[in-house]
Copies of this chain bind each other. A is one copy, B any other.
Amino acid sequence: MYGIIQLQEIISEEINKLNFDKTPENLYKPVKYTMQGNGKRIRPALVLAACNLFSESVKPAIPVALAFEVFHNFTLLHDDIMDNSPIRRNKETVHKKWDVNTAILSGDAMMILAYEFLKDLPAELLKTIFPVFNETALQVCEGQQYDMDFEKQKIVSETEYIEMIRLKTSVLIAAALKSGALCGGADEKQADLLYQFGLNLGIAFQIQDDLLDTYADVNVFGKQTGNDIITEKKTFLLIKALELLNFNKREELLTLISNTEIENNEKIKRVKDFYEKIEIQKHTEQQIKFYYEKAIHALREIPLPDDKKSGLFDFAELILKRKK
């Protein structure tokens, strides 16, 4: 059995072996630049970990792991254009370093390159994994669209928000696990349990992200907290707060959030005052726990000895307990 960190290393080596020194250079250089960013390689590591549950060798899953990682990086590349983000993983984003046209076309090429890894799968495996990969890819686009739509919406419901993060983030983690399991020889039911594990863990992870942005220990977090408040991001915390507050208080919070004249730290403090009165931190932690437990439940259901699953249990706990 491989640990997650070992699998991340295997994938990093595989990525380093990929040849992006192809022509036209203006198409492939940004692809190489993006793939050489210091990503955490979580999705491909999960593909391999899921495969490893059912097969000693993780080799059959490597092309699928690469497909997921390249696809994930494609979404970051195009999302960065849409969000006009200047920096990604401490490097200039492609549309800033080159230009928007280059970022669009290199992104398109990356999406196709992701599919390219699937082409050498045995016919029957391709037939099972291709629809999973493809449906997921479409859902990720849907999630990104909801995310952009929400920016223009005054109120977003908790249900809408969970659906958005499910599509934008969780389905890719879920599908990575499912596809890896299928590569390892899992049956449909086992693969679906891994999908459920990934889906719920992904949602827990994303809500955790929102919580840390406001409530992390700054010394461990490594950056300022409160950024989501300043950028008026519709996080789980804000959405939940708006849901729990009465009409007057809700309007007051909305006015505060959109007020750009208050000094940043003062604004963060005042928003947190709202949050604390209705115990947002507790509500959010409850939600994280709810999805975390659903994830663990699915993992337990897989009829394999617990020591085989220990890598994934550890990974889930790491997600739950992370401080940054």
Which A residues are within 8 Å of any B CB, using their own CB?
Answer: 23-24, 26-27, 78, 81-82, 100-101, 104-105, 107-109, 111-113, 115-116, 118-119, 123-124, 126-127, 130-131, 134-135, 137-138, 141-142, 144-146, 148-149
Are the C-beta atoms of A141 and B108 separated by less than 8 Å? Answer: yes
Name the B residues within 8 Å of A27 (CB-CB): 141-142, 145
Beyond the given A116-B134, A130-B130, could you list 6 further A-B residue pairs with CB under 8 A, ordered by the A residue number? A24-B145, A105-B145, A108-B141, A112-B134, A112-B141, A126-B130
Cross-chain contact of A126 among B105, B109, B127, B149 (Cβ < 8 A): B127
The answer to whether A113 touches B126 (Cβ under 8 A) is: no
With A78-B104, A104-B78, A149-B24 known as contacts, the answer to whether A119 contacts B141 (CB < 8 A) is no
The CA-CA distance from A142 to B106 in the complex, in Å, is 9
A104 contacts B82, C-beta separation under 8 Å? yes
Please give the count of copies of this chain that the complex contains: 2
Quick check: A149 and B108 within 8 Å, CB to CB? no
- Interfacial chain B residues near A142, Cβ < 8 Å: 23-24, 27, 109
A127 near B134: Cβ-Cβ < 8 Å: no
Q: Which B residues are in CB contact (< 8 Å) with A113?
A: 138
Bound complex: CA A271 to CA B273 (Å): 73
Indicate if the CB atoms of B104 and A104 lie closer than 8 Å: yes
Q: Are A138 and B109 in contact (CB under 8 A)?
A: yes
Cα A135 to Cα B112 in complex, Å, equals 8
Interface centre among A108, A113, A123, A127 (most CB of B within 10 A): A108
